[in-house]
Amino acid sequence: MNYWWLAVLVAGASLALTYWLRRYALHKSLLDIPNGRSSHTVPTPRGGGVAVVVSYLAALIWMYCAGGIELSSFMASFGAGLFIAALGFLDDHGHIAARWRLLGHFVAAAWGLFWLGGLPAIHLFGTELDLGLIGDVLAAFYLVWLLNLYNFMDGIDGIASVEAITVCLGAVLIYVLSGFPGLIGLPILLGCAVAGFLFWNFPPAKIFMGDAGSGFLGIILGILSLQAAWISSQLLWTWLILLGVFIVDATVTLIRRLVRGDKIYEAHRSHAYQFASRRFGRHLPVTSAVGVINLVWLLPIALCVTLFGLDGALGLIIAYIPLVILAIRFKAGTLEAN
């Protein structure tokens, strides 16, 4: 199937819808007001991620009706993505208690896994592991963690958008070179939906994504990675490698805050990327660095896994070690006063 005309249409729709959402937010004074926990200094419209959600889900409907994707893939992505986006939208415009949000996250993860068939057998250092029900539970926690960490990492201009676009581009290249061109449609369309939004979100941002958009991106990227795992275990490792910047920063930050006894559900500014943006005094260098790391460091390692037989788990370790060092260097998870 030729996705390119649809990709252009999705990017254009996202671009136009983000413009309309920005005007609506300004008219209704739906602004993100800076506070002590913010990384921005100017009141900025929020909720622009809805454009990504609407344009991508509309493309999913078209692809399913045209026979471009199977029912299982459509139901997993559409159902889980729509539910998380709706939950985030309600939280953006009011407040939902953390325990109910978390319950909703697991419901969406369970829905997606039901349609995907759970977690397939994975290869770990040359050994095939079929974890059965335990694997399904781990996959649910993986999806919930990924959608939450994506929300945590959406804290400076353009970073969540650049991450999604470069990860999707990397996945498309890997699929093409590895002999799986039939898988490229969904990541292409997701990347284009985010690209239309990025036009307005690029530093300095004219509108923010909001929880509806960031949570949606997190769970959709997770579902895409699990879909790929059913084709080849090595493809799952490549997705985990490509998502390394966000996974490492968020995980190192969470671990250090847990060890210190912080209330992890409270807002904070202790991610490595937030310390980096304050050190450089701007968001653009940090957002740009994320894109460069993804394309120059993580993508080549992911390609080695799929094209040259590098063990997926070993490739992930090689990819993550410098990211962990970088996160610690930029004080991920430490108190801001330090």
DSSP letter (8 states) at residue 203: S
**What's the rounded Cα separation, in Å, for the pair 40 and 34?**
6
- Asked if residue 154 belongs to a known ligand binding site, the reply is no
Q: Checking phi first, is residue 29 left (phi over 0); if not, alpha (psi -120 to 50) or beta? A: left
Helix (H) or strand (E) holding 32: strand 31-32
User: Are the C-beta atoms of 159 and 194 separated by less than 8 Å?
Assistant: no
Structure tokens at 206: 């004219």
- Asked if residue 211 belongs to a known ligand binding site, the reply is yes
User: Are the C-beta atoms of 53 and 214 separated by less than 8 Å?
Assistant: no
**What's the rounded Cα separation, in Å, for the pair 206 and 145?**
28
Q: Check the CA dihedral 56-61-62-68 and report its sign.
A: positive
Q: What are phi and psi of 227, to 5 degrees?
A: -60, -45
Known binding residues are 151, 211
Known binding residues for Mg(2+) are 151, 211
